[in-house]
């Protein structure tokens, strides 16, 4: 985009000797470059899953903050606990849900998609034992406080996070204002509502994997 400013320098002579008025003009060119912005940022928070009995055999950790912001990008769902206070019926769920808040920014006015990939199965660091595959789940939605109405959440119900499976979470849509950026929330936790469930017989270990979040134009 170019903006031109015109400066005018005028001389007016009202003497009886001078009968012509002269106008001198020149151009000053101003150039404003607006660079492409296409970015993704992630913040994670820990949220208690629900009530639990601290005297339960599988005691929860000491971190009982209602909501704690995590800056290291690590999903730590705490211990496995009973769904209800004092409930000894298996299976178990994770102590915490992890809220991943994803901010998508773009000024290119080109639609994009947001996807996730669990890069490898959840596996015990020490034992190598696999975690029940469909017990690790997620739920996605547009942030009510920060997000915009445009776009579509592709899976808005509890769904397993399966390994090596690129899953589209969100497709941006048209916007009357021409702004396609948005804020998407994804919650992760260990569920007892899927085919695979976690029982007390699950080997004690730290189970690790990584999730890749991708934003790409479509």
Kindly state whether residues 23 and 48 are assigned to the same domain: no
Task: Band the pLDDT of 26: cuts 50, 70, 90.
Answer: confident
CA 161 – CA 167 distance, rounded (Å):
9
Kindly state whether residues 24 and 72 are assigned to the same domain: no
Kindly state whether residues 47 and 19 are assigned to the same domain: no
pTM as predicted: 0.75
Kindly state whether residues 17 and 120 are assigned to the same domain: no
Which of these ranges, 45-54, 93-102, 116-125, 131-140, has the smallest mean pLDDT?
45-54
Kindly state whether residues 73 and 11 are assigned to the same domain: no
Kindly state whether residues 21 and 44 are assigned to the same domain: no
CA 71 – CA 93 distance, rounded (Å):
24
Say yes or no to pLDDT of 203 above 70.
Answer: yes
Kindly state whether residues 20 and 93 are assigned to the same domain: no
Kindly state whether residues 14 and 44 are assigned to the same domain: no
CA 68 – CA 96 distance, rounded (Å):
11
- In angstroms, the Cα distances linking 2 to 5, 30, 33, 65, 181 are 10, 6, 9, 53, 26
Kindly state whether residues 50 and 152 are assigned to the same domain: yes
The whole-angstrom distance between residue 170's C-alpha and the CA centroid of its chain comes to: 10
Say yes or no to pLDDT of 51 above 90.
Answer: no
Kindly state whether residues 109 and 193 are assigned to the same domain: yes
Kindly state whether residues 10 and 74 are assigned to the same domain: no
Mean per-residue pLDDT for 5-32? 60
The boundaries of the domain holding residue 143 are 38-217
| Count of structural domains, the chain | 2
Kindly state whether residues 93 and 65 are assigned to the same domain: yes
């Amino acid at each position: 985009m170019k903006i031109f400013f015109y400066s005018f320098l005028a001389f007016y002579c009202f003497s009886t000797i001078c009968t012509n008025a002269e106008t001198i003009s020149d151009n000053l060119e101003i150039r404003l470059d607006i660079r492409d912005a296409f970015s993704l940022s992630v913040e994670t928070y820990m949220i208690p899953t629900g009530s639990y009995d601290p005297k339960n055999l599988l005691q929860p950790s000491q971190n009982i903050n209602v909501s704690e912001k995590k800056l290291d990008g690590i999903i730590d769902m705490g211990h496995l606990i009973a769904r209800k206070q004092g409930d000894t019926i298996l299976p178990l769920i994770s102590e915490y849900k992890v809220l991943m808040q994803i901010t998508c920014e773009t000024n290119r006015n080109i639609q994009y998609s947001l996807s996730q990939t669990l890069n490898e199965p959840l596996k015990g660091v020490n034992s190598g034992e696999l975690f029940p595959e469909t017990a690790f789940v997620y739920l996605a939605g547009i942030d009510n406080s920060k997000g915009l109405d445009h776009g579509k959440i592709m899976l808005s119900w509890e769904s397993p996070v399966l390994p090596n499976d690129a899953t589209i979470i969100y497709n941006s849509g048209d916007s009357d204002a021409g702004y396609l950026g948005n804020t998407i929330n994804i919650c992760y936790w260990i569920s007892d509502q899927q085919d695979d469930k976690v029982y007390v017989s699950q080997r004690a270990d730290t189970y690790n994997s990584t999730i890749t979040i991708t934003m790409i134009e479509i």
